[in-house]
Chains A and B, each alone.
Chain A
């Protein structure tokens, strides 16, 4: 997939403009606060319908305006697709090929994988961050995963509410049934994903770190069951304890993804450099898995590749990406630090205005 053109209107601090992209590398260069990451956020938003940083969608709208619009032209298998998403006040408008559509029917044209400096902390963050990583990564290859996640979340909230507000055992049992059905699907999908990723992950790490420490990726379910019936029985067994606590203790919402290095948990055992390499390897494995299983080459979004932060990391990143055939977008404060393996377009970002200039 190639993102040929992007148009933004009323988006964050960006001027209303149309950008034509290179099918290889595209570098957004500019000082802090001028809007490089906003440009990347526009790309991420139109790919995933999720903002990069904004807590509330309305933060995406430029100050003093009430609507914003991002429009993209994407080439996939020789066909031109048009995607559009915008905000009309608080209301999100999503269009594919010029027609308003539901989110479920929107995805499938453009997939993006994001690299940010915050990624390095994934191993030290809460299990919730790793679950979000898992679900997002599964979604990139199979967008229907989103509905499983949302259904599970809704059923979980309903059971928790019933635990607190009702003494009717049948009511709990009813929501345990729906929770178990979506929970089992969630566990099955995550387990399959981790298994598919594992082999690619070990070789990607060897590539990234330059050593074969043999990292192992494990999905750690708190309810080790793929079948809805077993899931429901476990929830029923937990009922008394869950009622005391006021929430559901075990299930996919309490699971974790663990990474070990030489048999020790990487979270505590690995150095910062190793942790960075592990997370980078995770993403590289993700890209390879998409190609192997779905014949899909996503767009890569690399935020804040600034050499003063970590020159070695960036050199490694670009070396690893040298065999990547797809389109890459990078933000940086200084494009001279970026040695792209292939031709690139450089865009200068100054106070919200983005101007293309030929690569020196």
Chain B
């Protein structure tokens, strides 16, 4: 198994992608709702990632 070196951002982005897909599938009842919910979740993950990143940067000064 090759070793993979990802940055914080890349790893969090991958996590968000996989989690959004599965949570989108199991969270809603029609395919259209699943797609919308999956995209919404991915957007929420991204917003939290960027928001918390800035919060930590500002907190550290």
A, B assembled together: no
Which residues of chain B have a CB within 8 Å of any CB of chain A?
A: none
Residues of A within 8 A of B (CB): none
